[in-house]
Structure 1
Amino acid sequence: MGLLLCASITTAQQEDPLHANDSLYGEQNLILPDTLVIKPDTLRGQDSLIIIDSLSAYNEDQAPAISPNALQFRVDFKSIDSLHFDMKNHKVFMYNEATINYDDINLKANYVEMDFNKTEIFASGIPDSTGKERGQPIFVQGESEFRSQTMRYNYESKKALIQNVMTQDGEGTIRGDVIKKMPNNEANIKGGSYSTCPSCENRDFEFRYFKSKVIPGKRIVTGPAYLVIEDVPTPLFLPFGFFPIRQGKNSGILIPSWGESTDRGFYFEGGGYYWAINDYIDLKIVGDIYTGGSWAVKPSTRYKKRYKYSGAFEFLYAINIVGEEGQSDYRRDRDYQIRWQHRQDKKARPNSTFTANVNIRSSKSNYYNPTTAQDYLSNTFQSSVAYQTSFSGKYFLTLNANHSQNTKTKLMTLTLPEVSFNVNRLYPFRKQNRSGSMKWWEDISVNYTANMKSTVTIADSLLFQSETWDQVQNGIKHSIPINSSVKLLKHFTWTNSINMTDRMYLKTIEKNWVDTVFSGNDTIPGYVREDTISGFRNAFDANFSSSITTRVYGMFQFGKRFPVQAIRHVITPKVSFTFTPDWGDPYWGYYKSYFDPILEEDVEYSIFEGSVYGSPPRDKSGNVNFS
């Protein structure tokens, strides 16, 4: 282009008479000063910068044009059988499990034909040896998915013509004989149906229509439509159809199911309202009602916060009436269910965890209101709620709540709460910046453990009654072991320990013998009466143990001629002594007695009998062990 530009400049100079005279004059006498002046002016007029700009202008204006048939995005395609390129007609043929990815489009079929002249893709299945068509097209664009018999798609206009198609939109299944897909993903259907049946293959019920328009994620509008059940048309006819399509969480009314129960009559079950509160929690309130008078209300909620926690809570309260009032088979039961599941993400709090799996119910609720088939067949249910945490890696706290229930015996055991607190081993006399050898008292260690528990075993029908809490057994237990280890004569280890335990209770018992009572013709034989005494009492006990141990090493050598050249053995002899004082002495008041005239002797008992952590040992004991 630089040559062409120079040529045009030379032509212009020749047409100018002034420049023509100067040039001719310069050519006749090249040594004239005027000629030298004219030539620099000419060079200044033809600046080299202008030549560079002209090359840049050429790259922008004269760049090769892009073919109108060129693709706008990269195409990835493959097939298992074969690929055939028709370069003359600009076509590609793919056979057997062909896959095409283009922009947000994914197409799978056993036969695919790409026509670059028409910017079209045609897909269909291929008949197998039995004549059945296999590998029919599956077309996905964005969130829309179509399964069809044949499909023709223009990837430039983004329009498609699809035959015998089925697609999911929201919770509904849409079918059509012929569908024309528009660039905005709207679809015009000729000869189709719409159903909310969860099974895509079994068409239990559906609305059939002649024409319709589908606006994805919003609505389906149809012309005249009629209801079909089990492929049998019904006389239920609609002049037009309007089916809203919603995705994600949406509040709304829940339509109940209906039927008949042999014991409780006709019913409506599961009707109510669903409330999508926000992205983290929802609420569903449904109920059941029976013509025999039974009813139930079942609120439930789910919650989830990513990287924090998730769970669900369900509650059921029901009145179940069987038979007619006044008849011998009449029965009225009040039933309940409480289910709670909670999970904490491990990333939320590395030093603490909280989990819950609660399943509490009355004995009859499993029969009338089972949630799963497994619940219906089970008669034992358990629950647990646990929280664990640590402080500075030295102090550990555990909180538990447990429940076990047998619907056959109708007994329930609750442990609420159970607390455990532990402290790592401490050396109270050891200096942090110690220098020199360790003194014997610096090796004294102390541990501490505290436990607390409240438990009760009752009939499940008394769970929410006030007398339930009168039967609760509770207590607190403190354990403090003190240990010391001393080296004797360099080869012996002398270990001493004192174990102290303190139990705290809010109830004690008192037993007395009640003599036989004669009242008219009735006789009440003598018996032991047990009374519960409310009030705080603690029970302290301790024991002392001491042991001396050492290690003796020996070796027996066989020599190099034997496969086993030597045997090394270690002997650890140990002598230990344990002493427990008499905590049954009347001074402590832990044990009392009453006279039994039948046995004709005093019967001793502990005032903490039946408590969760038991009683201190009654008799003095001392043991010496050799090992």
Structure 2
Amino acid sequence: MQSNKHLFVFLFALIGIHTTFLAQEDPITPLPIKAVQDSITAPLLPANILNDSIRVDTAATDSVQKQPSFLTDQIKYRAKDYVKLSQSENKIYLYNEAEIYYQDTELKAGIIVMDYVKNEVYAGRIKDSTGTYTQLPYFKQGDNEVRPDSIRFNFDTQKALIWNSRSEQQAGLGQLGSDAMKFYAEVTKKENDSVYFLSEAKLTTSKDTVDPDYYIRIRRAKFVPKKKIIAGFSNMYIVDVPTPIALPFAYFPLTVGRTAGLIFPTFGNDPQRGYFIQNGGYYLPISEYIDLSVTGDFYTNGSYGFRGASIYTKRYKFRGNINFSFENLIQSQKGFDDFSRSSNYNIQIRHTQDPKSNPNSRFSASVNLGSSQFFSNSLNQNNRNDVQTNTFASSISYAKTFPAYPSVNASMTLTHTQNSRTEQITMSLPTFQASMERIFPFAERDGIKKGIIQNVNFQYDVNAQNTLTTDEENFFTSAMFDDARIGARHRIPLATNFKLAKYLSVSLNGNYEDVWTLETIQRRFDADQQEVVTDTISGFDRFNRYSMGASIGTVLYGTFNFGEDKKIQAIRHVMRPSISYSYAPSFEQFFDSYIDGDGEEVQFTPFETSLYGRPSLNRSNSLNFSLQNTLEAKVRDKDSTAIEPRKVSILSNLTFSAGYNFEADSLKLSPINMNGATEIIRNVPINFAATFDPYAIDNNGRRINTFNINNGGGLLRLTSARINTGFSINSEMFKKGGRKTLGEENQDPQYGDNPFALDGVQTGETFFRREENDDGDVENPAFTNKLPWDMRLTYVATYNNNNRQREITNHSLMFSGNVKLTPKWEVGFNSGYDFRNKGFTDTRFNFNRDLDSFRLSFDWTPFGQFERWYFFIGIKSSILSDLKWENRSQPFRSVR
């Protein structure tokens, strides 16, 4: 009967497994048992059994529970070398590239042994021909993956013992993003799907989990996948060297997405304010759409600061952020003569609306306001990059479109401009604008418009403002509204155009404006005080003005052919001359007068304080000239297979403009302005401008009504000039034959890829660490005689000669760039040189080193007002970004 039992188990396993052996197994030997006829004869059924009533068996329900089936699901397995089924041990042996798939579990290893009675599996490594362990087990259950040296797992209890396991968990800390947290544990006990216990574990974000460049050693820990690790005593190791960075217990969040938690601060010492704690605080995800982080700085001399930052977003609706900073600055100590206390603040708001949310309604905001000296006097290193900010600007606007014909666009805008040097603040609270689309009253809406009548069109727009100018002292007080000015302007432009003599384009235009104001002035001469008194009169008043004009222009083309066999085959010159005339009458009706102390009549207009200018007492009657030029060449292409010549722009723009005033009693001709642009050097745009005066000047530098040529000078007198250019260059632009791989240039068979090597020792190895990856390839070699680099340059020069001073008022070169000394060493710089004042502008150097899991940076301003240095080294991963060390110098700052 025992042999029958084994045979039954074997047959049941074959039927339940439904698989095919991939290798030859041991043959089954028949048991030497004779078949003997059973001596027990089954009794015959009584003849009247069908007539008897059916009796209920009182022992129909067995009190002993049946053992459940040892396999609850279909199992699949295979191996490369052999698959062995041992009936005596109730086990399946799989060897070399073994795989088992059962329920939601996937297991791959060099060797796998499965006990199908206990529902338990063991997996481990195997040795290759060199004695090296290979084919480490790979265990996956659901979304959890483990790569141990060996594992023992029970399918029924879902418990496991894992030796030398390696696992990876995606984790993120709030707005910092997500990273992979990797850990290695000598022994791991799996209690269930959601709880693991670790013994002697290493926690790291390094790519190499076997020999990481750093790790946190954990003696005992509880691990909940995708949620947390709760550990006992833990300390940090760098290159297997223990450090004093330790905690009696630790908590590592592994949740993906935003999670509330502490923001670890930075510690340091300020020579003026003592020891400090910076950027420590708390992060709180308020809801699915908004979060909040609050950080603060505290100094032992009493100075402090705090910041609040919030990011909000809703897909297909809007997104934005709000930042608020406040700092209380204390200089010296109470009781000393140099003791001072001041405060700085800064508010930044950004809001953008998704265009798809409402195409006819738009709201946006860009706010940057605060103390003028906030960035220059800030305690925080994060504000270092904004110390040269001279202007704060803000704008909050709401716009609405009414699409029905004629469509109208309306907007309401609040603006703010603040000069950090003068501390002057200008605000518009608010500005209202509305404009109606162009209407052609004498033409069909969808028809073609021809002739002077059908092209007649007009528009309407209105602009209303409430502006005020104040200073930082009166900002946010009632005094800031003392000088507020309110006004509105209505404008109706009228225009038409037509062709004259086929080649001339003629335009006629007129403009009407109506200006409203709530404040006018009145002037009188006070005989007692012997001075002119200006009175401000509140109340509505208005004035209007109008003008008209005409212009005519054409386009002239000229081509100079040199022959297709020449390098320069042709030059094409395009000229666009135009003449325009404008006229506006005088508006004496909007002027008043008073008698001064000398008995003379002085005219003035009550609308001098209007936001939209004042009416003119003088008639305007002028003629303006303009000539625009473009010049390009056809050049034979260097590519012999090219069919068409290559076009090269010589002058993308060269414009001359001047005017003649018929109403002026002298100096009727205006200065001639010239501006142009060229890119004769590829990728190097050059812009230039100049002003020429046809009139001479006297000994006092004043213009006189005498042409310069008649005064012993040239036809025109250069009064000002300007040139500027900006371009970027890099090392790739100077290579021939395209991009080359690292170390390809100037290779010498004697010294390898370093022509400067001496006695077989590469000089790069004496300074740069040479790191190798798993394949033995050099990951961080020293560059040879050519280093990858890039540079950005901006050159500006300005010349002034209004009074024969021949002065260069601005002559500077700004430059910045980066140099990659090795693939992991990078040096950056940002500076400029003022040739006029013979000095460098704010100069900064930054050095960055990629240390695999760490990032090292050094920021240095060697001289100037903001002289300082800043050193940082820390873990790149956002999960452990609080493990860092910072040190800095503190420059002298004048606290205001």
TM-score range, shorter chain: 0.5 to 0.7
Mapping of residues 528-607 of structure 1, within 5 Å: 531-545=535-549, 578-583=582-587, 585=588, 587-589=589-591, 592=593, 595=596, 603-607=602-606
Q: State the one-letter code of the partner of 1:410.
A: E
Q: Report the CA distance shift for 1:309/1:626 in structure 2 as closer, same or farther (over 3 A).
A: closer
Query: Alpha-carbon deviation of 1:215?
Result: 1.7
Q: Say whether the 8 Å CA contact 1:125–1:136 is kept in structure 2.
A: no
| Segment drifting more, 460-469 vs 331-340 | 460-469
What SS does the aligned partner of 2:349 have? strand
Query: Alpha-carbon deviation of 1:501?
Result: 0.6
What SS does the aligned partner of 2:596 have? strand
Match for residue 186 of structure 2 among 167, 170, 178: 178
Q: Which consecutive residues of structure 2, in runs of 5 or more, have no partner in the other structure?
A: 1-13, 23-72, 85-93, 115-120, 174-180, 557-573, 627-896
Mapping of residues 211-610 of structure 1, within 5 Å: 211-222=220-231, 225=233, 227=235, 232=242, 238=248, 247-251=256-260, 257-270=266-279, 272-366=281-375, 367-370=377-380, 371-392=382-403, 394-428=407-441, 444-483=456-495, 497-511=509-523, 531-545=535-549, 578-583=582-587, 585=588, 587-589=589-591, 592=593, 595=596, 603-609=602-608
Q: Say whether the 8 Å CA contact 2:435–2:461 is kept in structure 1.
A: yes
Q: Report the CA distance shift for 1:486/1:252 in structure 2 as closer, same or farther (over 3 A).
A: closer
Q: Which consecutive residues of structure 1, in runs of 5 or more, have no partner in the other structure?
A: 1-61, 76-83, 95-99, 127-131, 518-525, 554-569
Once residues 575 and 225 of structure 1 are traced to their aligned partners in structure 2, the CA distance between those partners, rounded to angstroms, is 86
TM-score by structure 1 length?
Answer: 0.63
Q: Say whether the 8 Å CA contact 1:124–1:149 is kept in structure 2.
A: no
Once residues 265 and 135 of structure 1 are traced to their aligned partners in structure 2, the CA distance between those partners, rounded to angstroms, is 58
Query: Alpha-carbon deviation of 1:307?
Result: 1.5
Where does residue 67 of structure 1 map in the other structure?
Answer: 19
Once residues 580 and 445 of structure 2 are traced to their aligned partners in structure 1, the CA distance between those partners, rounded to angstroms, is 32
Q: State the one-letter code of the partner of 2:18.
A: I
Q: What whole-Å deviation, never above 9, does each CA across 1:142-171 have from its counterpart, x for those lacking one?
A: 76576x785769798796835274645746
Once residues 170 and 624 of structure 2 are traced to their aligned partners in structure 1, the CA distance between those partners, rounded to angstroms, is 79
Q: Report the CA distance shift for 1:378/1:102 in structure 2 as closer, same or farther (over 3 A).
A: farther
Q: State the one-letter code of the partner of 2:427.
A: L
Q: Say whether the 8 Å CA contact 1:174–1:192 is kept in structure 2.
A: no
Once residues 480 and 490 of structure 1 are traced to their aligned partners in structure 2, the CA distance between those partners, rounded to angstroms, is 30
Q: Say whether the 8 Å CA contact 2:104–2:142 is kept in structure 1.
A: yes
Q: Say whether the 8 Å CA contact 2:507–2:550 is kept in structure 1.
A: yes
Where does residue 615 of structure 2 map in the other structure?
Answer: 616
Q: State the one-letter code of the partner of 1:283.
A: L
Q: Say whether the 8 Å CA contact 2:590–2:606 is kept in structure 1.
A: no
Q: Say whether the 8 Å CA contact 1:298–1:315 is kept in structure 2.
A: yes
Once residues 572 and 307 of structure 1 are traced to their aligned partners in structure 2, the CA distance between those partners, rounded to angstroms, is 46
Q: What whole-Å deviation, never above 9, does each CA across 1:305-357 have from its counterpart, x for those lacking one?
A: 11211111122233222122343322221221101111222322234443333
Once residues 385 and 191 of structure 1 are traced to their aligned partners in structure 2, the CA distance between those partners, rounded to angstroms, is 57
Structure number with higher helix proportion: 1
Q: Report the CA distance shift for 1:326/1:161 in structure 2 as closer, same or farther (over 3 A).
A: same
| Segment drifting more, 171-180 vs 416-425 | 171-180
Once residues 305 and 330 of structure 1 are traced to their aligned partners in structure 2, the CA distance between those partners, rounded to angstroms, is 48
TM-score by structure 2 length?
Answer: 0.46
Q: What whole-Å deviation, never above 9, does each CA across 1:183-223 have from its counterpart, x for those lacking one?
A: 615333121256899x997759x5x443322122444445x
Aligned residues: 513
Mapping of residues 146-165 of structure 1, within 5 Å: 161=162, 163=164, 165=166
Larger-gyration structure (1/2) = 1
Q: Report the CA distance shift for 1:492/1:93 in structure 2 as closer, same or farther (over 3 A).
A: closer
Q: Report the CA distance shift for 1:66/1:445 in structure 2 as closer, same or farther (over 3 A).
A: same
Once residues 571 and 252 of structure 1 are traced to their aligned partners in structure 2, the CA distance between those partners, rounded to angstroms, is 67
Once residues 218 and 440 of structure 2 are traced to their aligned partners in structure 1, the CA distance between those partners, rounded to angstroms, is 85
Q: Report the CA distance shift for 1:236/1:596 in structure 2 as closer, same or farther (over 3 A).
A: same
Q: What whole-Å deviation, never above 9, does each CA across 1:339-398 have from its counterpart, x for those lacking one?
A: 111122232223444333322121232222444432245444433334444221722224
Once residues 316 and 552 of structure 1 are traced to their aligned partners in structure 2, the CA distance between those partners, rounded to angstroms, is 57
Query: Alpha-carbon deviation of 1:69?
Result: 8.3
Once residues 339 and 535 of structure 1 are traced to their aligned partners in structure 2, the CA distance between those partners, rounded to angstroms, is 37
Q: Say whether the 8 Å CA contact 1:452–1:477 is kept in structure 2.
A: yes
Q: Say whether the 8 Å CA contact 1:316–1:338 is kept in structure 2.
A: yes
Q: State the one-letter code of the partner of 2:341.
A: R
